[in-house]
């Protein structure tokens, strides 16, 4: 299925299928291709929506979690969405956590996969180096259990992004904002059904992070995927979708 980007006011987004809303949030270097298997699978039963977060366009002074959560709030309000299932990967999970805590009446279910918010070894402990293709390639491959999953097209896309000084400045500002924002004291206030899908070999948000989320969120279940790192929906799409489908079936209301 072809993924079509729609534009309305200041928002660019994906909106495919009909049914309960499944809203997906990408990470710092997230591309639409990251969610392709989820869109293809679940747009048959759900209205799958992906707002394109303005990571590279937002004013530099607003580049951080607060600005991105504000954008998400405006998008959900503009589209008049309610009782959504909210799913986020990496930084997208962090944004989803903050939004959910402030808007639990609007979120029916929460899914986190490789989410920041407790601990994140972002960019392997360093920040993007402009102009070094080999560095970018190594860092992107670090995101996957099997480095071959990082296609040349994906590496090229990330490399082109951080060649831009303004974009790179925003990336660094957002990454630092996420690292400063530890949610350990707030997360226990989440009381909606929550699914945690974690790569057993995640080096960015290691398995201990998944266990800690599971401990802090009372109504949560933790599922691991073996031979998998930070983006399970890309590395093992069939296993990821099966776990997600079971969760959605078990929590239909």
Candidate from 103-117, 119-133, 142-156, 196-210 with smallest mean pLDDT: 119-133
The answer on pLDDT for 1 being more than 70 is no
User: Does residue 128 carry a pLDDT above 70?
Assistant: no
Task: Concatenate the DSSP letters of all residues of 173-199 into one string.
Answer: HHHHHHHH---TTTGGG--S-EEEEEE
Give the integer Cα–Cα distance in Å for 98 and 116.
11
Query: Which comes out higher in pLDDT, residue 224 or 5?
Result: 224
pLDDT top residue among 240 and 122: 240
User: For residue 128, how many C-alpha atoms fall within 13 Å in the half-sphere facing its CB?
Assistant: 28
**Neighbouring C-beta atoms of residue 222, cutoff 10 Å:** 18
What is the chain's mean pLDDT, rounded?
89
Q: Is the pLDDT of residue 138 over 60?
A: yes
Determine the Cα angle at 82 with ends 78 and 86, to 5°. 95
3-class DSSP assignment, residue 15: strand
Q: pLDDT per residue over 217-240, tens digit each?
A: 999 999 999 999 999 999 999 999
Residue 7: pLDDT above 60? yes
Greater model confidence, 86 or 28 = 86
At residue 133, does pLDDT exceed 50? yes
- The answer to whether residue 38 scores a pLDDT higher than 90 is yes
* Residues 16/1, Cβ–Cβ less than 8 Å: yes
Q: Rounded to two decimals, what is the model's pTM?
A: 0.91
Question: Where is average pLDDT lowest: 78-82, 138-142, 241-245?
Answer: 138-142
Q: List the one residue out of 85, 94, 113 whose CA is nearest residue 224.
A: 113
Confidence band of 149 (pLDDT split at 50, 70, 90): confident
Compute the Cα dihedral for 35, 183, 110, 205 and give only its sign.
Answer: positive
Measure Cα distances from 57 to 29, 124, 205 in Å: 13, 24, 26
Task: Tell me: pLDDT of 126 over 70.
Answer: no
How far, in Å, CA of 92 to CA of 31, rounded? 12
What's the maximum distance between 2 C-alpha atoms anywhere in the chain? 49
Which residues share a beta bridge with 195? Answer: 111, 221
Between 173 and 189, the higher pLDDT residue: 189
Here the tokens at position 164 are 């831009």
Residue spans per domain, the chain: 5-119+182-250
Residue carrying the six token digits 């600005």: 67
Q: Which residues pair with 11 in a beta bridge?
A: 8
Q: Which tokens in the block code for residue 188?
A: 């226990």
Average pLDDT over residues 107-133: 74
Question: For the chain, how are helix, strand and coil distributed in percent, rounded to 5?
Answer: 45, 20, 35
What pLDDT was estimated at residue 177?
Answer: 86
Contacts of 9 (CB under 8 A, 6+ apart): 78
Of 3, 33, 37, 12, nearest in space to 197 by CA: 37
Model confidence pLDDT, tens digit, residues 181-195: 899 999 999 999 999
pLDDT tens-digit series, residues 57-73: 888 888 889 999 999 99
Domain 5-119+182-250: what homologous superfamily? Answer: Alpha/Beta hydrolase fold, catalytic domain (3.40.50.1820)
pLDDT above 60: residue 124: no
Which residue, chain included where needed, has tokens 């992070």?
209
pLDDT recorded at residue 134: 82
């Amino acid at each position: 299925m072809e993924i079509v980007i729609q534009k309305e006011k200041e928002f660019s987004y994906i909106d495919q299928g009909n049914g309960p809303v499944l809203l997906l949030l990408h990470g710092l270097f997230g591309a639409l291709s990251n969610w392709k298997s989820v869109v293809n699978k679940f747009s048959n039963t759900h209205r799958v929506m992906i707002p394109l977060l303005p990571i590279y366009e937002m004013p530099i002074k607003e580049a951080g979690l607060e600005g991105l959560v504000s954008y998400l709030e405006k998008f959900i309000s503009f589209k008049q969405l309610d009782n959504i299932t909210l799913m986020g990967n990496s930084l997208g999970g962090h944004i989803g956590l903050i939004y959910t805590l402030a808007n639990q009446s609007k979120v029916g279910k929460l899914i986190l996969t490789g989410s920041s918010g407790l601990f994140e070894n972002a960019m392997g402990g360093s920040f993007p180096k402009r102009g070094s293709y080999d560095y970018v390639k190594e860092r992107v491959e670090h995101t996957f259990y099997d480095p071959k999953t990082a296609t040349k097209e994906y590496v090229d896309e990330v490399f082109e992004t951080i060649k831009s000084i303004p974009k790179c400045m925003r990336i660094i500002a957002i990454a630092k904002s996420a690292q400063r924002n530890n949610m350990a004291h707030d997360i226990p206030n989440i009381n909606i059904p929550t699914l945690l899908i974690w790569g057993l070999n995640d080096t960015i948000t290691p398995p201990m992070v998944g266990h800690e989320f599971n401990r802090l969120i009372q109504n949560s279940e933790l599922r691991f995927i073996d031979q998998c790192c930070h983006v399970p929906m890309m590395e093992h799409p069939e296993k990821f979708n099966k776990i997600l489908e079971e969760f959605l079936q078990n929590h239909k209301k």
